[in-house]
Structure 1
């Protein structure tokens, strides 16, 4: 039971971690890696420098799995799985649904997904490092449901 709750809590808390990383690291001292994600029509390849951020979260997940493997700590296993689950959800939502890196999930009438896409578009309207908004991925402020943007 503790494993299930550790996975759940970790996956939920990852939204806050991702928000903080995006606002203070990606739009902060590692803007040079994230900037190409905000430049329109500047994608010469399938990958961007921005994609290197997945390594940070992968290292956290792999480290947690290693600690579980070495010491048998169930909480480490739960953290590793929770971070991994968030990463998969992030990839599906951000890369497949929002940015259409693979053209498979183009149309939806789901209000949550439409609000999520709208919030992300507002984030990308700011092409620079500053004045951004909507740094999270899965939590969407209510104003994006109402079509105020």
Structure 2
């Protein structure tokens, strides 16, 4: 497969992963997968949390597609799609775990309106301690913080943490 077809397929996969990540976060992680994801909404004890297993789970299809496309003679597009899934995972890890939750040491301070909006939306997601009642499930696309605050207020503060626990100690 030529790069003229592969690169757009790769980019479409990265963009499409946002929809997949939104759905997985909203209906799996905040649904039947809460037993793993709950650890991400509580103060972390140590370097890892059960929620980190989702990275392993979601890496599986990427590895399978890469191996299938490169080693096992599958359709060559599988390689580009697998690389797109891996790229989305790397972007997610760097931004979400590195910048938002500061699991990696750094001095980066988001200055652009876009990055500030994404960080604030994710922190607003964490003000709710339960699997229900949360807002903002996306990663690359997030509603305006004002809209998220209004939605939390409309819900009468159901599940909101006590003052001082809004970021669940993750900053």
Normalized against structure 2, the TM-score is what?
A: 0.80
Q: Is the 8 A contact 2:136 2:148 kept in 1?
A: no
**Runs of 4+ deviating beyond 4 Å:** 146-149
Where in structure 1 are there 5+ consecutive unaligned residues? Answer: none
Look up the SS of the partner of 2:129 in the other structure: coil
Q: 1:87 aligns with which of 82, 86, 89?
A: 89
Q: Is the 8 A contact 2:36 2:50 kept in 1?
A: yes
Q: Name the residue aligned to 1:71.
A: 73
Distance 1:72 1:135 in 2: 33
Q: 2:36 aligns with which of 14, 33, 36?
A: 33
Bigger share in helix: 1
Residues 35-114 of structure 1: matches in 2 within 5 Å?
35-39=38-42, 41=43, 43-68=44-69, 69-114=71-116
* Mean Cα deviation higher: 10-19 or 101-110: 101-110
RMSD: 1.6
Look up the SS of the partner of 1:125 in the other structure: coil
Q: Is the 8 A contact 2:121 2:148 kept in 1?
A: no
Between Structure 1 and Structure 2, how many residues are aligned?
A: 145
